[in-house]
Chain A
Amino acid sequence: MLTSHLLPDAAFRALAAGAGPPATIRLLRDAQLSKHLMLLHGIADAAGAAGASAAGPAAFRAGYALLAELQATTAGGADWLLGLPHLGSWAHDCLIHVEQGSAADFAHFACLAAAAAIRGGIGFELDVPVREGRVLLPGLGFIRVAEDSAWIRLCCDGEQVTAGAHFRAGRQYLVPDDGSGGPVPQWSGTPLIRAVTDGLAWQVLLETGDSYLDRYTLPMAAGLPAEDVRHWRQRAQSAWQVLVRHHRWAAEALPDVVSVIVPLTPHNETDLVSVTTPAAFGAIATSWPPDPVTMAETLVHEGQHVKLCGLLDMVSLVTSGGEKVYAPWRQDPRPAGGLLQGVYAHLGIARFWNAQRHAETDSDDILRAQVHFARWRSMIDQAAQTLLRTDCLTPAGVRFVNLLRAQGQQLETEPLPGEAQEISRQAALDHLLTWQLRHVVIDTADVASVAAACRRGESVRGRTRPRTRIEADTRKVEASVRSRLLNMRYLAPARYRELCADGTLALSEADRLLVGGQAQAAVRAYRDEITASADPRPDAWIGLALALDLLPSSPLQRVFAAELPLMFEVHGCLGDRADPLDLASWFA
């Protein structure tokens, strides 16, 4: 009788709390082995239906038979293969093709099984595909072959490996390249990083050779020169040190969570982009992290996604559909599933910065860590509430989010300096208002009705709220120099001071007053900008809200924070360049 993987309640609670001790992560990994077996079985059915004579399905079946032999003869050999993110990534592609009725690359599985057999010293003879002059052995590396043929005979007698007539090597040489061995002719081992700090070790492959892991929003770096590999090794070692010394909870889980890093090529050299896919448990992708702390944060961030992807394979937490919503770390509206991933990642990020603020010694670095912590901890509860309102969570999802939310609330009890909280609050408000103006659509008739009531001087109280919906980029709101500068205050304080002193920045007078902390004068300047302009000025409305927020508490602040898109639309409807502060007073 077939049973299911069981997840102890304590493990569920530990994961929901953002943690996950190694024993819990191993439960996720074990489930991935079964998931991959399940996918392979589905693919085997499709390969069987594809006909006995076709080369691809035949290679798949040979690989499948080799996997059966691995299961029967080697301890751990099959599990190594079934735990490879490379296998998951290929299996997803294969299954999608089967689903779509398009040509699936069945043959690649022969390469995967061959890699596991070579690693385990199991004899075999297989026909495997040659792609761009390479025989890929996922998780190990690739053999360069001169033959033009699309296929090659790959053999292993348990010790020696041959590929066609011109490649022969001992299997002990066909291993990932940890930088310690000499070159092996025609063999290119996948770069392997071994990071060790205080007796805690982490091994991770730097994968740029497996096309099936080229599945992220940015392209995989195409090969890495030896110098770049050396830099990645140094950076990973330094990041590992940060994690082991200051974030033990993350370091202890990481070896089971991240076994492959896919370096990405960003559009701009200075962009930092990191991604995880549910198709490849254990792999993360990132562009070059500019410093060890940033890499450590990226590992925590993406590690959270990997864990949640593993849990979502096991337990349904969220359903698809429903309106997209605000995520405090994204420019675009997100579905509930995306918000759940984001809030879970940011719980890890908040925990990271909470510890890191005590680890830093430079005043700028301390400020950066404090503001990151202030900003992301306050978003956990807010985003969790948004999620609970979506009605897209399953009962297990509601429980998960409530447990996660409690962690966020606990983090909010930590004391923080006022400056860090102020900078964080302003950055968060700027982000929220920009998002609202970009994506919140208000029913046109309802806006006209509110404008008419305003003209007549009627009270806004008791009126039915206008109907709203979320629609991506309903208004054009450019990313402003002002926003970048405000964020720079904590992300790069030295550069911020430099730019402020320089005085040549393309800021409006109102922006200059706001950035300079002259809130009252900035309010007047933004109001003048709005009333003097014949065109809508969303950037000035946001600036006005930010300037008001710096002043002592008033009803106008609440109106600007809660009703900005509506006021913006009503103002446009009123015409005659109405005073935005008068309009806000009417709303208040």
Chain B
Amino acid sequence: MTSQEQAIKTLIPDLRNIPVDRLAELGSSALAHSIALYRERLKENGIPLSSFQARI
């Protein structure tokens, strides 16, 4: 495989074809792991609350 054909496996699980009411069936799996990772990044990056929420 040449570098042009290679693809990078990203941090986002592909959920496009999974109905939301079936997401729970994935249980404590890779999805939970991805969410945990994302929450960790959220904390690291320190994205603030919206001004509206920050005022509450």
Contact = CB atoms under 8 A, between A and B. Distances in A.
Given A34-B16, A68-B21, A96-B49, A6 B39 contact: no
Nearest to B2: A9
A92 B47 CA distance: 8
Contact of B45 (A71, A72, A337): A337
A12 B31 CA distance: 24
Interface string B12-42: 1111101111011010011100110011001
Given A41-B24, A214-B52, A3 B14 contact: yes
Interface in A48-71: 64-65, 67-68, 71
Contacts of A278: 45, 47
A37 interface: yes
Contacts of B35: 38-39, 41-42
The SS class assigned to the A binding surface is helix
A2 to B, nearest CB: 4
Contact of B20 (A64, A220, A315): A64
Contacts of B43: 99
B29 A2 contact: yes
A67 B6 CA distance: 35
Contact of B53 (A35, A38, A93): A93
Q: How large is the interface on A (under 10, 10 to 19, 20 to 34, 35 or more residues)?
A: 35 or more
Nearest to A215: B50
A200 B31 CA distance: 39
A375 B37 CA distance: 39
Contacts of B39: 42, 95, 99
Given A38-B31, A93-B53, A314 B47 contact: no
B29 to A, nearest CB: 6
A93 B12 contact: no
A41 B53 contact: no
Given A96-B49, A105-B53, A213-B50, A31 B10 contact: yes
Contacts of B16: 30, 33-34, 37
Contacts of A30: 16
Nearest to B29: A2
A279 B13 CA distance: 18
Given A38-B35, A215-B49, A278-B45, A2 B30 contact: yes
Given A64-B20, A316-B11, A214 B42 contact: no
A7 B10 CA distance: 7
A96 B18 CA distance: 25
A9 B3 CA distance: 7
Contacts of B56: 103
Interface in A1-38: 2-10, 12, 30-31, 33-35, 37-38
A5 B35 CA distance: 15
Contacts of A39: 35, 38
B18 to A, nearest CB: 8
Interface string A275-315: 00111000000000000000000000000000000000111
A2 B11 contact: no
A526 B51 CA distance: 46
Contact of B42 (A6, A95, A337): A95
A5 B14 contact: yes
Nearest to A82: B16
A134 to B, nearest CB: 13
Residue from the set A38, A211, A216 with the largest chain B CB neighbour count within 10 Å: A38
Nearest to B21: A68
A16 to B, nearest CB: 12
Nearest to B3: A9
Contacts of A41: 20, 23-24, 31, 35
B38 to A, nearest CB: 7
A21 B50 CA distance: 31
A556 interface: no
A66 to B, nearest CB: 10
Contacts of A2: 13-14, 26, 29-31
A475 to B, nearest CB: 27
A406 to B, nearest CB: 15
Nearest to A131: B52
A4 B4 contact: no
A42 B48 CA distance: 19
Interface string A177-216: 0000000000000000000000000000000000111111
B7 A37 contact: no
Contacts of A220: 51
A18 B15 CA distance: 28
Contacts of A99: 39, 42-43
B47 A277 contact: yes
A255 interface: no
A219 B51 contact: yes
Given A6-B8, A278-B47, 15 more contacts: A4-B13, A8-B5, A8-B7, A34-B14, A35-B38, A38-B15, A41-B35, A93-B50, A95-B42, A97-B49, A211-B53, A212-B53, A278-B45, A279-B47, A320-B45
25 contacts: A4-B14, A5-B10, A9-B7, A31-B12, A33-B16, A34-B12, A37-B15, A38-B12, A38-B15, A38-B31, A41-B20, A41-B23, A41-B24, A65-B21, A68-B20, A68-B21, A92-B42, A93-B49, A95-B39, A96-B49, A213-B50, A215-B50, A320-B44, A337-B45, A396-B8
Interface of A: 2-10, 12, 30-31, 33-35, 37-42, 44, 64-65, 67-68, 71-72, 89, 92-93, 95-97, 99, 103, 105, 211-216, 219-220, 277-279, 313-316, 320, 337, 396
Shortest 4 CB-CB contacts between residues of A and residues of B: A211-B52, A215-B50, A314-B10, A6-B7
